[in-house]
Amino acid sequence: MARAKKGNDAKIGILMIGHGEPEVFEEEVWREGLHEMFEEFRQTGLEVPPDDAFPVMLMEIKDKYEAMGGKSLHAEVCRKQCKMLAKDFAGYDVRIGFNEFIGPLFTDVAKDMAKDGIKKIAFIPMLQTDSTHTGEVWNKIEAIELDKQGVKWVMSKPLFYRPEPTKFVIDKIAQTAGKTPLNKVGVVLASHGEPDEWTRLCLENTRCKEQEIAFCACVKKGLIEKGFVWDNIVQGFNEFTHPELPEAVEKLADKNLEKVIVMTSFGSTDCMHVNYDIPTKSKSALVDPNLEIVCLGGWNYDPLVIKAYVELTKEALARL
């Protein structure tokens, strides 16, 4: 990735922001992360587990890592996505940081950019929707007061605002259907989900549920145009929102299908949600055990995903 020399005012910074997930299981990292997450939940009125539940939760997270081969690929994928994007912006200082759990924290990277003489920064959150996470990112940027250091900044829109992810998901599902008759194929679009309490409390920050529903509607339309059956395409949520994934899969139980394809509608990277939670929950559904359930991975390095980030970055830079 291109980096500016200290004091080079001509450079413009592009800072990609990954969500953040530890690459390997580290108990203290996860303990601290869970404490912070549950405190945020508590402040929004959600009930949270007591501290004496942490040992069991940490063991569950450890088991997830072991099931994924001992490693989360999230950070590795984010770094590679950033390197791929940097090829389109050779004249810029392109770096990556993370929002939580792992370093470098994007706020620290932004501070380093300012110290290196960067006077303009475009922040690019690697997220799918306007959500509590994008709101959190915005608030963290404001908190480091870059404007007082003479640094102008903008934040890009999330992936929802680009057409490429929709096309990618449609094409991936169609490819996975293969030679199976399309009237025998079910599709579950796995969304993330956010509590309704967050939507009520943070209307200026989160449109997550609304945008996830809209995104899946666009994907569904595209699949219908390819010959898939309307009633065989459903949306399910990984957490917080109904129908949850087992419920969504069970909606297809009486459709006389040969294959059910479960595709994440929010995950641009392989991570714990995509590689463990979604497959585990989907395959726990009460359906015919002979029904083939195919769970697809993250969006990762597909050219359409990278193009979406490139176009979002160009739009953001135009506002600097």
pLDDT tens profile 192-230: 987 666 656 554 556 888 999 999 999 999 999 999 999
Residue 5 pLDDT greater than 80, yes or no: no
- What pLDDT sits at residue 122? 98
Query: How do strand 233-237 and strand 259-264 relate by DSSP bridges?
Result: unpaired
For residue 7, the model assigns a pLDDT of: 42
Structural domains in the chain, CATH included, are 13-159+304-317 (3.40.50.1400), 164-295 (3.40.50.1400)
What are the CA-CA distances from residue 92 to residues 8, 12, 79, 314 (Å)?
11, 5, 17, 12
Over the stretch 15-62, which tens digit does the pLDDT of each residue have?
A: 999 999 999 999 998 888 888 878 877 776 667 788 888 899 999 999
Summarize the confidence of residues 283-305 as an average pLDDT.
96
Burial class (CB in 10 A: 0-12, 13-18, 19+), 135: middle
Helical segments of 158-260, H only: 164-177, 196-201, 208-225, 245-250
